[in-house]
């Protein structure tokens, strides 16, 4: 079994910064794509940023230039540095990882989510 645990959420003022972390643990042979998604109240879950196992990245247009995704393969951890935060960034942020537990098939796993609130 694979678990993803997020941390780093909280309350921040507009223009502020937060760094989210997501650590994968359990039976892991390899991890392909890792990413961050978010869901605001009354809205569908949306992509924030993803990073491949060779560090290729993709961002939602709404966060380009403000958010930076990175990963530490030795720690099975993905990060997102969020700068110049806006009230519209308020959401529950979820980590997702595509993991091969035993070197054969890949499976998609989600974290439990961490709340980010941007408000003065």
Start-to-end CA span in the chain (Å):
40
At 40 the pLDDT is 97
Q: What share of residues in the chain are helix, strand, coil (percent, to 5)?
A: 5, 55, 40
pLDDT band for position 108 (50/70/90)? very high
Over residues 19-37, mean pLDDT: 97
pLDDT digits (tens, 9 = 90+) for 74-102: 999 999 999 999 999 999 999 999 999 99
Whether the Cβ atoms of residue 29 and residue 100 lie closer than 8 Å to each other? yes
Supply the pLDDT for residue 25: 97
């Amino acid at each position: 079994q694979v678990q993803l645990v997020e941390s780093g959420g909280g309350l921040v003022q507009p223009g502020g910064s937060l760094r989210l972390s997501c650590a994968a643990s359990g039976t892991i042979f390899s991890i392909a794509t890792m990413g961050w998604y978010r869901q605001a109240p009354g809205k569908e879950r949306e992509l924030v940023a993803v990073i491949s196992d060779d560090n290729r990245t993709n961002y939602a247009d709404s966060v380009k230039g403000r958010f930076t995704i990175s990963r530490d393969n030795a720690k099975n951890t993905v990060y997102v540095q969020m700068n110049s935060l806006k009230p519209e960034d308020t959401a529950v942020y979820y980590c997702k990882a595509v993991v091969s537990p035993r070197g054969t098939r890949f499976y998609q796993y989600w974290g439990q989510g961490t709340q980010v609130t941007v408000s003065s």
